[in-house]
Amino acid sequence: MLHSLVLAVATRASDWSPSVAVVMVVCNIIAIAISKFSIQRPHVGPEVPGLGLSVPALIAATCFGHILGAGAILGLTNTGAL
């Protein structure tokens, strides 16, 4: 019984392809843009040249971008668009 329930809620994972990479890159760019306006102290720590964020702020933004990207990739895969 438990195995059939687990199989019923299991999602199909997408194989890696360039379109999956593009979705992840776009989600990370969106997350960096959001973080530039929402992080309270973006300049604490060493700066990343040309980006206007510190290294800890960039790491936090890309972590958020990967969360967004994973959700977008799973959602697009389940709808059949990816």
CA torsion angle 51 24 37 54 (round to 10): -40
Structure confidence at residue 10 (pLDDT): 61
Taking the C-alpha atoms of residue 11 and residue 58, their distance in angstroms, rounded to an integer, is 31
Q: How many domains does the chain have?
A: 1
What global pTM score does this model have?
A: 0.79
Work out the pLDDT band at 82, boundaries 50, 70, 90.
confident
Work out the pLDDT band at 6, boundaries 50, 70, 90.
low
4 occurs within a structural domain: no
H/E element, 51: none
37-63: per-residue pLDDT in tens?
Answer: 888 887 888 988 888 889 999 999 999
Taking the C-alpha atoms of residue 60 and residue 45, their distance in angstroms, rounded to an integer, is 13
22 occurs within a structural domain: yes
Q: Which domain holds residue 50?
A: 18-79
28 occurs within a structural domain: yes
Work out the pLDDT band at 33, boundaries 50, 70, 90.
very high
- Decide: helix, strand or coil at residue 11: coil
